[in-house]
């Protein structure tokens, strides 16, 4: 077994071997690590090791969960989703992934205390992948780009709630959205506070809401602006990403808007 820690020096993060006192990692930072692993999974034919599709996520209440690397894991690891699913007292302890060297398994662990472990024989190969993941913590935040905008007559909370329900309904997902979209039962308001879709009708004073989408090959948000009566589709990407299949996602949103708009 090989032990590492993630440390911080001069506002940069590094993976060090056999050191103590790693830096505490937030759920956001663990999400970035998982997102980087997801991007490596998409390109694993170029890597020294293969990556198993699912990571195992561990929570403070003893619950474990399997999350696919075919989508953006950070949204499912976010405190917004964890709180709604497990309660406000439950936090993210870390996650485990598997690197494969032929039939040989390397089980790796990333903990919220900055501890990193590799249980396997491919030490150097695994260490190179681990350092690629940790370097993601030094990258700029995701960049947003508006790729679609529509004006909706009399845009109201009830309409937003209806659209959000449609986009989290499994029957509408394939082949554009990932099946785990059904786990996204919330939106973000102007302060980026999460609100359960079912509670949206209660007025909290916010006039702007964002619905995250676990679309294939990218991360999107549907932005509902009650002030301008506009609905926008936003794509967010890290420096290492190039979102694809935007036309499919746009077509799905437009289809639902047209259908629901005609029924208003």
Last residue within a domain, chosen from 87, 115, 138: 138
Listed in sequence order, the residues at least 6 apart from 46 whose beta carbon sits closer than 8 Å to its beta carbon are none
Asked if 41 and 169 sit in the same domain, the reply is: no
Give the count of alpha carbons within 13 A of 11, CB side only: 2
Asked whether 210 and 223 are in contact (CB, 8 A), the reply is yes
Asked if 132 and 8 sit in the same domain, the reply is: yes
Alpha-carbon torsion (187, 190, 194, 197), positive or negative = negative
Last residue within a domain, chosen from 138, 157, 172: 138
- Structural domain of residue 252, as residue ranges? 143-263
pLDDT in tens, 142-159: 889 998 898 988 889 998
pLDDT tens for the chain, residues 1 to 264: 899 999 999 999 999 987 778 899 999 999 999 999 999 998 899 999 999 999 999 999 999 999 999 888 999 999 989 998 999 999 999 999 999 999 899 999 999 999 999 999 899 999 999 999 999 999 998 889 998 898 988 889 998 999 898 888 877 776 778 778 888 889 999 888 889 999 888 777 889 999 998 876 678 899 999 999 999 999 888 988 876 667 878 888 888 777 765 554
Asked if 50 and 154 sit in the same domain, the reply is: no
Split into its structural domains, the chain has a count of 2
Listed in sequence order, the residues at least 6 apart from 228 whose beta carbon sits closer than 8 Å to its beta carbon are none
Q: At what angle do helices 27-42 and 123-135 cross, to 10 degrees?
A: 120
């Amino acid at each position: 077994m090989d032990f590492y820690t993630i440390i911080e020096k001069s506002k940069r993060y590094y993976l060090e071997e056999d050191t103590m006192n790693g830096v505490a990692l937030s759920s956001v930072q663990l999400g970035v690590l998982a997102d980087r692993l997801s991007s490596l999974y998409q390109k694993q034919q170029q890597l020294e090791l293969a990556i198993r599709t699912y990571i195992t996520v561990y929570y403070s209440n003893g619950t474990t969960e399997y999350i696919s690397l075919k989508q953006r894991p950070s949204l499912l690891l976010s405190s917004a989703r964890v709180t709604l699913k497990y309660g406000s007292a439950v936090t993210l302890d870390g996650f485990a992934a598997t690197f494969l060297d032929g039939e040989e398994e390397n089980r790796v662990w990333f903990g919220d205390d900055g501890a990193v472990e590799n249980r396997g024989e491919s030490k150097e190969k695994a260490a190179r992948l681990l350092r690629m993941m940790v370097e993601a913590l030094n990258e700029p935040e995701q960049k947003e780009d508006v790729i679609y905008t529509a004006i909706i007559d009399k845009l109201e909370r009830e309409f937003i709630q209806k659209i959000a329900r449609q986009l989290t309904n499994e029957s509408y997902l394939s082949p554009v959205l990932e099946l785990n979209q059904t786990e996204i039962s919330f939106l973000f308001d102007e302060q980026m506070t999460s609100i359960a879709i079912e509670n949206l009708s209660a007025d909290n004073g916010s006039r702007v809401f964002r619905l995250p989408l676990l679309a294939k090959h990218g991360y999107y948000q549907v932005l509902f602006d009650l002030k301008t009566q506009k609905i926008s589709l936003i794509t967010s990407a890290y420096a290492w990403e190039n979102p694809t299949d935007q036309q499919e996602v746009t077509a799905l949103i437009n289809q639902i808007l047209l259908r629901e708009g005609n029924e208003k």
